[in-house]
A and B are shown apart, each in its own frame.
Chain A
Amino acid sequence: MRQKFPALLVSIHIFMGDVLAEVDFNRDVRPILASKCFACHGPDKESREAKLRLDDRASAVKKEAIVPGKLEDSEFHYRIRSDDPDEVMPPPKSHATLTAKEKDLLDQWIKEGAKYDKHWAFVPPVALAPPGKDSKWARNEIDSFVLENLEKHDLKPSPEADRYSLIRRLYLDLTGLPPTPLEADKFVNDKGPNAYENLVDSLLKSSRYGEKWAREWLDLARYADTNGYEKDRPRNIWPYRDWVIRALNADMPYDQFTIEQLAGDMLPNATNDQKIATGFHRNTQLNEEGGIDPLEFRFYAAVDRVATTGTVWMGLTTGCAQCHTHKYDPITHDEYYGLMGLLDNVDEPDLLLYTDAQTKQKSDLEKQIDQKIKDIQKNNPDFEQAFATWRKTEEPKATSWRTLEPDSMKTNLPKLEVLEDGSIFSSGDVTKRDVFDLNFTSQQAITALRLEVLPDDRLPNRGPGRCYYEGRKGDFFLSEFSVHANGKKQEIINPTSTFGKISIGGGSAKASNVTDGDGSSGWSTAGQQGKANHLILPLGKPIPANTTFSIQMLFERHFVVSLGRFRISASSTAKQPKAQSLGVEMERVLSLKKQASPMDLSSLRSLYLEKVYLEKPIAQNKETVGKSTQWIWNAKSNRPKETLFFSKRFELQEIPESAEIFFTCDDKVEFFLNGHAIGSTDLWSKPVTSTLKKHFRKGANFLTAKASNQAGLAGLIAQLSLKSKNGKTQRVASDASWKFVPQLSNSKSKDWHTRDLQNAQPAVVVGKYGDKPWGSLNLSTQGPAKKPNTITQLRNRLPKPNHTLIMLERPKDNPRPTKLRHRGEYTNPKHEVPSGIPEIFNLQNRNEPANRLEFARWLVSTDNPLGDRVTVNRAWRSFFGYGLIRTSGDFGTQAPAPDHPELLDWLAVEFRKNGMSLKKLHRLIVTSSIYRQSSKASKKLLDLDPQNRLLARGPRFRLSGELIRDHMLAASGKLSSKMFGPGVYPPQPLSVLAHAFGNKGWNASKGEDRYRRSVYTFVKRTAPFAGYMTFDGSSGENCLARRDRSNTPLQALTLLNDEMFLELARAVGKEVHLQKKDPVLTLFRRFLTRPPSPEETKTLQAYLDQQIERLTKGELKPGEIAADKKATPELAGKVLLARAIMNLDESITKP
Chain B
Amino acid sequence: MNVPSLLHRTRRHFFQDCGIGVGKIALASLLAKESFGASGKLGFMRFPVKAKRVIYLFMAGAPSQLELFDSKPKLKEIEGKPIPPSVIKGQRYAFIQPDAAVLGPRFPFAKHGQSGAVLSDRLPHLAKIADDMTFVKSMHTDHFNHAPAQLFMTTGSGIPGRASMGSWLSYGIGSEADDLPGFVVMRSGGNLSGGSAMWGSGFLPSEHQGVPFREGADPILHVTNPKGIDRTAQRQTLDLLSKLNRGTHQAMGDPEVNARIEAYEMAYRMQARAPELMDFSKESQETLDLYGVKKGKSDFASNCLLARRLAERGTRFIQLYHSGWDAHSNVEGNVKNQAKQVDQASAALVQDLKRLGMLEDTLVVWGGEFGRTPMVEASAALKRSGGRDHHPQAFTMWMAGGGAKPGITLGQTDELGFHVTEDPVHVHDLQATILQLMGIDHTRLSFRFQGLDFRLTGVEPHHAVKKLIA
Binding site for B on A (CB under 8 A): 35, 95, 228-230, 232, 285, 287, 289-293, 300, 304, 311, 316-317, 319-320, 323, 328-329, 477, 502, 504-508, 513, 518-522, 557-558, 637-641, 711-713, 745-746, 773, 823, 827, 886-887, 889-890, 892, 894-895, 935-939, 941-942, 946-947, 956, 958, 989, 991-992, 994-999, 1021-1024, 1026, 1029-1030, 1032, 1035, 1037-1038, 1041, 1044, 1046-1054, 1056-1059, 1062, 1093, 1095-1096, 1099-1100, 1103, 1106-1107, 1110, 1115-1117, 1119-1121, 1132, 1136, 1139-1140, 1143-1146, 1149
Contact = CB atoms under 8 A, between A and B. Distances in A.
Contacts of A1144: 241, 244-245, 248
Given A937-B254, A1056-B234, A638 B330 contact: yes
A504 B191 contact: no
Given A285-B160, A998-B191, 12 more contacts: A304-B159, A329-B451, A477-B381, A712-B329, A935-B254, A995-B192, A995-B212, A1024-B196, A1046-B3, A1048-B263, A1121-B228, A1145-B245
Interface string B1-19: 1010000000000000000
A1099 B30 contact: no
Given A505-B382, A1053-B222, A1116-B228, A938 B253 contact: yes
B222 A1057 contact: yes
Given A890-B451, A1058-B222, A1120 B227 contact: yes
B225 interface: yes
A1106 B236 contact: yes
Interface string B374-392: 0000111111111001100
B196 A1023 contact: yes
B247 interface: yes
A184 B205 CA distance: 36
B237 A1050 contact: no
Interface of B: 1, 3, 27, 29-30, 32, 34, 38, 43, 92-95, 97, 144-148, 158-161, 185, 187, 190-197, 200, 205-207, 211-212, 214-216, 218, 220-230, 232-234, 236-237, 240-241, 243-245, 247-248, 251-257, 259-260, 263-264, 266-267, 270-271, 296, 324, 326-330, 333-334, 378-386, 389-390, 444, 448, 450-452, 459-460
A522 B460 CA distance: 44
Most buried by B among A232, A522, A641: A641
A638 B233 contact: no
Across the A-B interface, give the 5 residue pairs with the lowest CB-CB distance, nearest first: A291-B94, A1120-B228, A1022-B195, A317-B451, A638-B330
Contact of A1048 (B1, B145, B237): B1
A311 B450 CA distance: 8
20 contacts: A289-B147, A292-B145, A328-B451, A502-B381, A507-B381, A640-B327, A992-B221, A994-B212, A997-B193, A1041-B450, A1047-B256, A1050-B221, A1050-B267, A1052-B267, A1056-B225, A1057-B222, A1057-B224, A1100-B240, A1121-B226, A1132-B228
B385 A558 contact: no
B232 A1047 contact: no
B451 A504 contact: no
Contact of B260 (A477, A1047, A1053): A1047
Most buried by B among A713, A937, A998, A1022: A1022
B381 A521 contact: yes
A860 B329 CA distance: 54
Contacts of A1139: 237
Contacts of B193: 229-230, 289, 997
A1049 B264 contact: yes
A782 to B, nearest CB: 22
A558 B95 contact: yes
Contact of A942 (B185, B255, B333, B460): B255
Contact of B214 (A311, A991, A1145): A991
Contact of B253 (A886, A937, A1032, A1100): A937
A1117 to B, nearest CB: 5
A1049 B196 contact: no
Contacts, number: 317
B252 A936 contact: yes
Contacts of A637: 330, 333
B212 A894 contact: no
A1115 B450 contact: no
Nearest to A713: B383
A320 B190 contact: no
Most buried by B among A938, A991, A1058: A991
A557 to B, nearest CB: 7
Contacts of B271: 1053
A936 B249 CA distance: 9
Contacts of A323: 459
A521 B228 CA distance: 59
Nearest to A561: B381
A995 B190 contact: no
Nearest to A991: B214
Most buried by B among A713, A946, A1053: A1053
A472 to B, nearest CB: 13
Nearest to B328: A711
Most buried by A among B230, B240, B448: B240
A1052 B264 contact: yes
Contact of A1053 (B223, B328, B380): B223
Nearest to A524: B381
A409 to B, nearest CB: 25
Nearest to B224: A1057
